[in-house]
């Protein structure tokens, strides 16, 4: 942990550890504590953080920052990070999302099982306790049932410059409020007819403290608690209580919650005073969310892209979701490297998409096997093949290192045959100056193979080149003593026409044409890039075609590719380009 660069959150934790702020925490022994801590048991963790997604969509790259941050801080400081589903909003949540989130956190390399104990929690398990807390606030005259219409309530909240107006229901007695609240719970009042509000200060300069709603009526089926409840706590009320119940020490969230912190403190201080929450209680700290250029990171907008079929699903390789990035070929290591590099701060900023791509390159360069692939195939025939090798069908074995810097990864073999695929751009009938590849009369090396001399080409009726003709120079094979006798400047990649394997390759461009697709109220759909996906028919080296789905390669010259997790099959290979070899995004 000492080698990690410091940041304001690490400094806060270091200060709390030095001062022993959380040294004497004891569990309350609540029945909803899924980790089963007994009442009075001292907390063995030095700190506790949590990652609290709402299961209403798939996680995206912004969530990866939060996951790496919260799990990373716990790891570095001898703490425990909880994975908690903040499932207090029944309409939008679903088990499908719960499963996908569990998968994503595990895939990123983090584990909520610590010392054989699961630290997986569901806020919905705390509904009973939250209800108790609400009743205790009512009894203490700190909450009341408001029967104003939603419009009146909004109007009476005031503005930044005008104080709010107190509700006519604000002065009701605790007994009357308790009775009303019990009726709400019993389903005796329709949705929208009343809410429970905290009684704080309608004149507060912080609008969040002007008697915020803490419970509302919803006759909605919950994916875990079913129809047990028809009142649900508001996020701002539920979240501090969830933190407190789990003995969280550092509750880290994004900057938009800064204005909610006074309520977080108000609520927990009262619950401590009322004996419902143990002291020392958790504290909230805010950091700047991740904003990545050319990307939208709002679940609502991502859901819209999926629903309106602008992409092929949540796991479309162009999506910034973790399932999308995974399918695109991003590795967990590269995403962790990315979040380490961008760090955390208290000021909002934009991170260039190229930073994410560079993290992928830096991860894969060191370990991805190399292979040859021809993305824009043009046939080349070696016209003296039978003469040199005695048979037109001869296949000449060639080999290359799996990784040039790692001999221990072994070698790969592939055959050179009389006909091969080369890139269309590697032949030019009338070349520009300085062109070192194939042109009638020029020589170049077929990489890991022989030097060849181009003798001409064949064209179709439209004048398009359909075949390049060349002669092989015997005794120039790479890796043999004669390899250097003929010096050439150009080296071209190729795949045997008869031994190479046809593969579908998907080439992606940015999903949006503007770096800030949803800034300033712009309709992000208006800047969708109509050419963000291109599918090409290619040929790849047999070793790559035989790879399992999910395997990453560097296709020489072309970048990093992954065998598609869904569509790739041995015999019918499908690759996604994760990124090019060099930054092509520009500045």
Name the residues that contact ligand ATP, by CB under 6 A. Answer: 52-54, 62-63, 65-66, 253-254, 289-290, 297-299
Alpha-helical segments (H) within 274-331: 299-307, 322-328
Q: Which of 12, 28, 54, 455 binds Mg ion (CB under 5 A)?
A: 54
Residue 66 binding partner per list Mg ion, ligand ATP, none, with a CB distance cut-off of 5 to 8 Å that depends on partner kind? ligand ATP
Stretch that binds Mg ion, among 47-55, 148-156, 312-320, 340-348 (CB under 5 A): 47-55
Query: Least separation, in Å, of the C-beta of 456 and ligand ATP?
Result: 57
Residue 65 binding partner per list ligand ATP, Mg ion, none, with a CB distance cut-off of 5 to 8 Å that depends on partner kind? ligand ATP
As a whole number of angstroms, the distance between CA 372 and CA 543 comes to 9
Stretch that binds Mg ion, among 48-56, 400-408, 433-441, 533-541 (CB under 5 A): 48-56
Whether the ω angle into residue 295 lies within 30 degrees of 0, i.e. cis, is no
Say if CB 531 and CB 400 are below 8 A apart. no
Which one-letter DSSP state was computed for residue 170?
Answer: T
Stretch that binds Mg ion, among 52-60, 345-353, 530-538, 556-564 (CB under 5 A): 52-60
As a whole number of angstroms, the distance between CA 354 and CA 294 comes to 10
Using CB under 5 A as the binding criterion, the count of chain residues that bind Mg ion stands at 1
Take residue 432 and report the two structure tokens written for it: 């520009």
Query: Least separation, in Å, of the C-beta of 162 and ligand ATP?
Result: 29
Task: Let me know if 162 is exposed, middle or buried by CB neighbors in 10 A (0-12, 13-18, 19+).
Answer: exposed
* Residue (of 128, 165, 161, 159) closest to 146 by Cα position: 165
Q: Annotated catalytic, 458?
A: no
Take residue 565 and report the two structure tokens written for it: 């997790």
Query: Least separation, in Å, of the C-beta of 257 and ligand ATP?
Result: 7
Query: Least separation, in Å, of the C-beta of 256 and ligand ATP?
Result: 8
As a whole number of angstroms, the distance between CA 443 and CA 256 comes to 63
Determine which one of 289, 301, 379, 510 is catalytic: 289
CB of 61 or CB of 374, closer to ligand ATP: 61
Which one-letter DSSP state was computed for residue 301?
Answer: H
Take residue 45 and report the two structure tokens written for it: 């963790």
Half-sphere exposure of residue 192, counting CA atoms within 13 Å on the CB side?
Answer: 5
CB of 217 or CB of 292, closer to ligand ATP: 292
Query: Least separation, in Å, of the C-beta of 306 and ligand ATP?
Result: 13
Query: Least separation, in Å, of the C-beta of 61 and ligand ATP?
Result: 7
Residue 290 binding partner per list Mg ion, ligand ATP, none, with a CB distance cut-off of 5 to 8 Å that depends on partner kind? ligand ATP
Residue 212 binding partner per list Mg ion, ligand ATP, none, with a CB distance cut-off of 5 to 8 Å that depends on partner kind? none
Take residue 184 and report the two structure tokens written for it: 């709400």
* Residue (of 496, 416, 429, 426) closest to 458 by Cα position: 429
CB of 41 or CB of 298, closer to ligand ATP: 298
Say if CB 105 and CB 324 are below 8 A apart. no
Nearest residue by C-beta to ligand ATP? 62
As a whole number of angstroms, the distance between CA 20 and CA 318 comes to 46
Which residues lie closer than 8 Å to 513 by C-beta, 6 or more apart? 527, 528, 529
Say if CB 327 and CB 564 are below 8 A apart. yes
Stretch that binds Mg ion, among 46-54, 184-192, 471-479, 494-502 (CB under 5 A): 46-54
CB of 193 or CB of 298, closer to ligand ATP: 298
Angle between helices 127-139 and 174-185 (to 10 degrees): 160
The number of residues in the chain equals 587
Query: Least separation, in Å, of the C-beta of 342 and ligand ATP?
Result: 10
CB of 285 or CB of 414, closer to ligand ATP: 285
- Per-position DSSP letters for 1-41, written without gaps between them: -TTSPP-HHHHHHHHHHHHTTTTT-B----TT-TT-PPTTP
- The residue to which tokens 């810097």 are assigned: 405
Determine which one of 172, 180, 210, 299 is catalytic: 299
Residue 124 binding partner per list ligand ATP, Mg ion, none, with a CB distance cut-off of 5 to 8 Å that depends on partner kind? none
Q: Annotated catalytic, 54?
A: yes
Stretch that binds Mg ion, among 49-57, 88-96, 236-244, 259-267 (CB under 5 A): 49-57
Residue 289 binding partner per list ligand ATP, Mg ion, none, with a CB distance cut-off of 5 to 8 Å that depends on partner kind? ligand ATP
Stretch that binds Mg ion, among 53-61, 481-489, 504-512, 514-522 (CB under 5 A): 53-61
Query: Least separation, in Å, of the C-beta of 296 and ligand ATP?
Result: 9
Query: Least separation, in Å, of the C-beta of 501 and Mg ion?
Result: 45
Residue 63 binding partner per list Mg ion, ligand ATP, none, with a CB distance cut-off of 5 to 8 Å that depends on partner kind? ligand ATP
As a whole number of angstroms, the distance between CA 415 and CA 570 comes to 19
Tell whether residue 258 is a contact of Mg ion (CB under 5 A): no
Query: Least separation, in Å, of the C-beta of 531 and Mg ion?
Result: 30
Which one-letter DSSP state was computed for residue 426?
Answer: G
Strand (E) or helix (H) holding 451: strand 451-459
Determine which one of 26, 54, 341, 381 is catalytic: 54
As a whole number of angstroms, the distance between CA 6 and CA 2 comes to 9
- Per-position DSSP letters for 497-528, written without gaps between them: TTTSEEEEEEEE--SBSSSSTTGGG--GGGGB
Residue 53 binding partner per list Mg ion, ligand ATP, none, with a CB distance cut-off of 5 to 8 Å that depends on partner kind? ligand ATP
CB of 53 or CB of 573, closer to ligand ATP: 53
- The residue to which tokens 């709010």 are assigned: 164
Helix/strand/coil (H/E/C) assignment for every residue in 444-487: EEECCCCEEEEEEEEECCCCCEEEEEEEECCCCCCCCHHHHCCC
Q: Annotated catalytic, 582?
A: no
List of residues contacting Mg ion (CB under 5 A): 54
Catalytically active residues are: 54, 289, 299
């Amino acid at each position: 942990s000492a080698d990690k660069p410091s940041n304001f959150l690490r400094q806060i934790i270091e200060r709390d550890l030095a001062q022993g702020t959380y040294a004497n925490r004891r569990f309350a022994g609540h029945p909803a504590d899924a980790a089963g801590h007994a009442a009075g048991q001292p907390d063995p963790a030095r700190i506790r953080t949590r990652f609290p997604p709402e299961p209403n969509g798939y996680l995206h790259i912004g969530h990866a920052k939060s996951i790496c941050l919260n799990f990373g801080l716990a790891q570095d400081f001898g703490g425990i990070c909880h994975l908690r589903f903040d499932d207090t909003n029944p309409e939008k949540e679903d088990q499908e999302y719960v499963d996908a989130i569990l998968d994503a956190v595990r895939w990123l390399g983090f584990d909520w099982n610590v010392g054989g104990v699961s630290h997986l929690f569901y806020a919905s398990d705390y509904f009973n306790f939250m209800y108790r807390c609400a009743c205790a606030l009512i009894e203490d005259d700190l909450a009341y049932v408001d029967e104003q219409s939603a419009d009146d309530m909004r109007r009476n909240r005031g503005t930044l410059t005008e104080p709010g107006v107190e509700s006519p229901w604000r002065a009701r007695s605790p007994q009357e409020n308790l009775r009303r609240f019990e009726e709400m719970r019993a389903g005796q009042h329709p949705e929208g007819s009343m809410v429970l509000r905290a009684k704080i200060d309608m004149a507060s300069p912080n609008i969040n403290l002007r008697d915020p709603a803490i419970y509302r009526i919803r006759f909605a089926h919950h994916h875990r608690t079913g129809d047990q409840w028809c009142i649900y706590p508001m996020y701002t009320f539920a979240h501090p209580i969830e933190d407190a119940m789990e003995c969280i020490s550092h509750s880290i969230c994004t900057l938009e919650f800064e204005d909610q912190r006074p309520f977080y403190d108000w609520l927990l201080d009262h619950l401590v005073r009322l004996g419902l929450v143990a002291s020392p209680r958790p504290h909230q700290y805010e950091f700047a969310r991740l904003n990545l250029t050319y990307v939208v990171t709002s679940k609502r907008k991502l859901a819209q892209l999926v629903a309106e079929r602008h992409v092929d699903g949540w796991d479309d390789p162009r999506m910034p979701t973790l399932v999308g990035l995974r399918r695109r070929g991003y590795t967990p290591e590269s995403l962790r490297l990315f979040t380490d590099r961008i760090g955390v701060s208290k000021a909002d900023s934009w991170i260039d998409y190229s930073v994410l791509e560079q993290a992928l390159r830096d991860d894969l360069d060191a370990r991805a096997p190399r292979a040859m692939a021809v993305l824009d195939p043009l046939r080349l025939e070696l016209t003296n093949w039978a003469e040199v090798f005695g048979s037109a069908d001869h296949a000449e074995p060639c080999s290359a290192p799996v990784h040039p810097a790692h001999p221990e990864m072994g070698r790969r073999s592939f055959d050179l045959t009389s006909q091969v695929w080369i890139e269309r751009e590697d032949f030019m009938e009338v070349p520009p100056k300085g062109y070192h590849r194939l042109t009638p009369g020029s020589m170049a090396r077929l990489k890991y193979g022989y030097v060849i001399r181009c003798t001409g080409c064949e064209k179709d009726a439209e004048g398009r080149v359909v075949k390049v003709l060349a002669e092989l120079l015997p005794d120039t094979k790479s890796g043999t003593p004669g390899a250097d006798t003929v010096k050439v400047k150009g080296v071209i990649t190729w795949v045997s026409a008869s031994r190479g394997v046809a593969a579908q390759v998907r080439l992606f461009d940015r999903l949006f044409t503007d770096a800030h697709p949803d800034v300033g109220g712009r309709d992000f759909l208006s800047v969708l890039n109509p050419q963000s996906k291109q599918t090409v028919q290619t040929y790849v080296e047999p070793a790559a075609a035989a790879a399992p789905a999910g395997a990453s390669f560097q296709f020489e010259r072309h970048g990093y590719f992954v065998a598609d997790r869904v569509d790739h099959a041995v015999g019918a290979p499908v690759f996604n380009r994760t990124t090019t070899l060099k930054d092509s995004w520009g500045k």
